[in-house]
Amino acid sequence: MEALLEARALSIHFGGLKAVEKVDLDVREGEIMSLIGPNGAGKTTFFNLVSGFLKPTSGTVSFDGHDITGKEPYETAKLGLVRTFQKTNIFADVTVADSIKIGFSQHRHANIIDILWNGPVSKKENIETQKQADEILEFCGLYDWKNFLVKNIPYGKQRMLAVALALATSPKLLLLDEPATGLNPAETKELIDIILKIRNERKITVFLIEHNMNLVVSISDRLAVLCYGEKLTEGVPSEVAKDPRVIEAYLGRGFRQNVS
Ligand SMILES: Nc1ncnc2c1ncn2[C@@H]1O[C@H](COP(=O)(O)OP(=O)(O)OP(=O)(O)O)[C@@H](O)[C@H]1O
């Protein structure tokens, strides 16, 4: 499998703090890869670096054959690298259906006159957008909530909406930052099924940060482990779980029990 995302010697220092230090990491096309590590290990900072929300102190990032080092988030998103955030950052006062339609708007071809007068290109696109929006809502288990205001749907559904919004942009690589945070067991199970479908049916590569070890181990093809900004190791979950350095990093956090 080819690497879709390649970080090489990627570093960022905040004053004296080496938040990410010389990390080499590949995410291969078609895989589900997880980035794990104790609190403060540098996981979110690493996501911010590869998605353009932070500029590296040194090192490079390439995505789908493009050097994206230091590029802005909208530029990486245009190339197909799209992320969600730990906290939901979605519009609260629009309906679920409308927020998804906003996600599709970047793909429209109708010009402004055509849109204002609902001309033939706009009409066709509206029908198409409606169809695609319904399909994504169905895919993410949100169809029954489509006419609710975002602020009135359960928290777990808001988290799924963030995933649906990212999917609406047709990404090649989806970065999910702690998608299971705050979800109950039933919602977590639903999330696992949806992540697997995103990769298996939509063929989208998934790279996630997650503290829920049962989730990580059950869906990931490979794991990379960060600790104090450095990559400790990477590999298939069963191997990583046996690595003494990983056990040491997680000592007292129940990592081994969760994966055996
Ligand atoms: N903008 C910033 N300025 C200064 N320090 C920062 C900044 N962003 C992150 N840090 C520090 O960098 C380190 C790594 O933080 P980061 O949030 O990436 O860790 P994490 O592995 O995602 O942690 P968690 O699992 O708790 O979310 C922490 O010590 C954090 O305080």
Residue recorded with tokens 């055996």: 260
Binding site membership of 44 for ligand 1 (Cβ less than 6 Å):
yes
pLDDT at position 62: 97
Ligand 1 atom nearest to 211, measured from its CA? 25
Binding site membership of 41 for ligand 1 (Cβ less than 6 Å):
yes
pLDDT at position 224: 95
Ligand 1, atom 16, residue with closest C-alpha? 42
In the chain, the amino acid numbered 6 is E
pLDDT at position 255: 54
Share of the chain above pLDDT 70, in %: 85
Mean pLDDT, 10 residues at a time, the chain of 260 residues: 92 95 97 94 95 96 96 92 78 84 63 59 70 91 93 91 90 94 91 95 96 89 94 92 83 50
- Please state the pTM of the whole predicted model: 0.87
C-alpha 44 – ligand 1 centre gap (Å): 7
**Mind listing the pLDDT tens digit for each residue in 64-109?**
999 999 999 999 999 999 998 777 666 678 899 888 887 676 555 5
pLDDT at position 257: 47
Ligand 1 atom nearest to 178, measured from its CA? 27
Binding site membership of 43 for ligand 1 (Cβ less than 6 Å):
yes
**67, 60, 198, 145 alpha-carbon torsion, rounded to 10°:** -90
ipTM for the predicted complex comes to 0.96
pLDDT at position 109: 56
C-alpha 15 – ligand 1 centre gap (Å): 13
Ligand 1 probe mutation, 14, 34, 212, most atoms within 8 A of CB: 14
C-alpha 20 – ligand 1 centre gap (Å): 9
Burial (0-12, 13-18, 19+ Cβ within 10 Å), 200: exposed
pLDDT at position 86: 72
Binding site membership of 160 for ligand 1 (Cβ less than 6 Å):
no
Ligand 1 atom nearest to 37, measured from its CA? 21
Binding site membership of 55 for ligand 1 (Cβ less than 6 Å):
no
| Domains by residue range for the chain, with CATH | 1-80+172-260 (3.40.50.300), 90-170 (no CATH)
Q: What gap in Å lies between CA 220 and CA 216, rounded to an integer?
A: 6
